[in-house]
């Protein structure tokens, strides 16, 4: 293991943060239990004083296919997995084309698009060195209780990469802003949409400094340049406060605040 200084104002998809020392885990290292694991920071808002952080090194970026069993290291970028499944004509992974990040981050968030989610296709996850069947892991809409560091995931695969499904997903009418963000800021409450609620309480387009509730999609907190953690947090708290006050609904963050 070794330390690496990561500047979250460049590394995170929302471009917010400061340089922080992160412990990089290599193969064979004992996994510490006093640090928070991060992936590729596409769903993170990192404060200037986060808890101690760790990350999987490139050792955990690999893909092995043996007959119908695909084993993927959790530092593998989703783009690499998509290319591999396309090249090897494997079905079921087309939706990862819409999800920036690592396989570890996808598993922890049970990331997905429409009805496609990673827990629909994963079989088992190696967590803190032990393979665990997915049926033993509590999971649901945008969460999975991994209770540890996922280092590898196993999928039973079928042939038949669908170019049609890929194109359909890529061509979904995208109402997502192109400005840096961490994806959806809040989970959709049951039977409603966080974006609709944020808009209804008058926050669509509202800014603090360079951070803004996007004019394109109100559930995206976007950074127009030099946005800070404090500004982002103020907008998040304001949305939660107003939605609770006006609708009695408690919005829950999808973005992970560290
Ligand atoms: C423009 C944009 C669009 C997006 N659209 C979608 C979408 O449509 N659907 C969707 O579901 N998501 C979406 N996201 C969010 C993001 O793509 C996913 O959450 C992704 O899975 C995050 O992966 P990551 O590696 O960046 O994880 P990070 O953001 O680094 O971490 C996310 C969480 O995973 C945990 N984690 C990371 N690695 C591990 C590990 N190895 N073991 C255990 N826990 C781990 C972290 O502790 C953290 O809680 C979007 C993001 C962006 C920027």
Same domain? 140 vs 67:
yes
- Closest-CA residue to 239 (of 190, 209, 200, 210): 200
Of 106, 139, 170, the position where a domain reaches its end is 170
Same domain? 50 vs 18:
yes
Give the HSE-up count for residue 249: Cα atoms under 13 Å, Cβ half-sphere.
Answer: 22
Q: d(Cα 182, Cα 152) in Å, to the nearest integer? A: 24
Q: d(Cα 185, Cα 203) in Å, to the nearest integer? A: 13
Q: Is the CB of 39 under 6 A from ligand 1?
A: yes
Q: Is the CB of 153 under 6 A from ligand 1?
A: no
Q: Is the CB of 251 under 6 A from ligand 1?
A: no
Domain that holds residue 116: 61-170
Annotation says 156 is catalytic: no
Residue 173 pLDDT: 64
Report if pTM > 0.75.
Answer: yes
Of 17, 38, 59, the position where a domain reaches its end is 59
- How far is the centre of ligand 1, averaged over its atoms, from the C-alpha of 69 (Å)? 24
CA 149, 155, 156: angle at the middle one, nearest 5?
155
Residues of the chain with pLDDT under 70: 173
Q: d(Cα 61, Cα 52) in Å, to the nearest integer? A: 22
Residue 185 pLDDT: 97
- Closest-CA residue to 88 (of 158, 155, 35): 158
Given the CA of residue 176, which atom of ligand 1 is nearest to it?
1
Q: d(Cα 156, Cα 71) in Å, to the nearest integer? A: 9
Q: Mind listing the pLDDT tens digit for each residue in 66-115?
A: 999 999 999 999 999 999 999 999 999 999 998 999 999 999 999 999 88
Same domain? 15 vs 93:
no
The one catalytic residue in 9, 47, 184, 214 is 184
Residue 205 lies in a domain: yes
Residue 175 pLDDT: 78
- Give 180's contacts (C-beta < 8 A, 6+ positions apart): 13, 14, 15, 222, 223
Residue 114 pLDDT: 85
Annotation says 35 is catalytic: no
Residue 44 pLDDT: 98
Q: Give the residue, by CA position, lying nearest to ligand 1 atom 49.
A: 256
Q: Any bridge partners for residue 24, and if so which?
A: 2, 55
For residue 128, give the CATH number of its domain: 3.30.465.10
Three-state DSSP class for residue 104: helix
Residue 118 lies in a domain: yes
């Amino acid at each position: 293991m070794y330390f690496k200084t990561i500047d979250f104002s460049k590394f995170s998809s929302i471009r917010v943060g400061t340089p922080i020392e992160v412990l990089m885990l290599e193969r064979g290292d004992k996994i510490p239990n006093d640090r928070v694991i991060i992936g590729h920071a596409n769903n993170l808002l990192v404060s200037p004083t986060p808890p101690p952080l760790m990350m999987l090194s490139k050792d955990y970026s690999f893909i092995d296919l043996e007959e119908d069993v695909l084993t993927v290291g959790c530092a593998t970028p989703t783009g690499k997995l998509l290319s591999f499944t396309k090249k090897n004509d494997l079905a079921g992974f087309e939706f990862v084309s819409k999800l920036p990040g690592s396989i570890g981050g996808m598993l922890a968030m049970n990331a997905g698009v429409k009805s496609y989610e990673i827990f629909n296709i994963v079989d088992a996850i190696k967590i803190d060195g032990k393979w665990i069947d997915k049926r033993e892991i509590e999971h649901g809409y945008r969460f999975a209780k991994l209770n540890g560091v996922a280092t590898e995931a196993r999928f039973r695969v079928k042939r038949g990469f669908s170019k049609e499904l890929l194109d359909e997903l890529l061509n979904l009418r995208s109402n997502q802003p192109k400005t840096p963000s961490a994806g959806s800021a809040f989970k959709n409450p049951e039977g409603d949409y966080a974006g609709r609620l944020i808009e209804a309480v008058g926050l669509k387009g509202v800014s603090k400094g360079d951070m803004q509730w996007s004019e394109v999609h109100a559930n995206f907190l976007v950074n127009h340049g030099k946005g800070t953690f404090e500004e982002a947090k103020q907008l998040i708290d304001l949305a939660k406060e107003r939605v609770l006050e006006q609708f009695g609904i408690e919005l829950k963050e999808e973005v992970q605040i560290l």
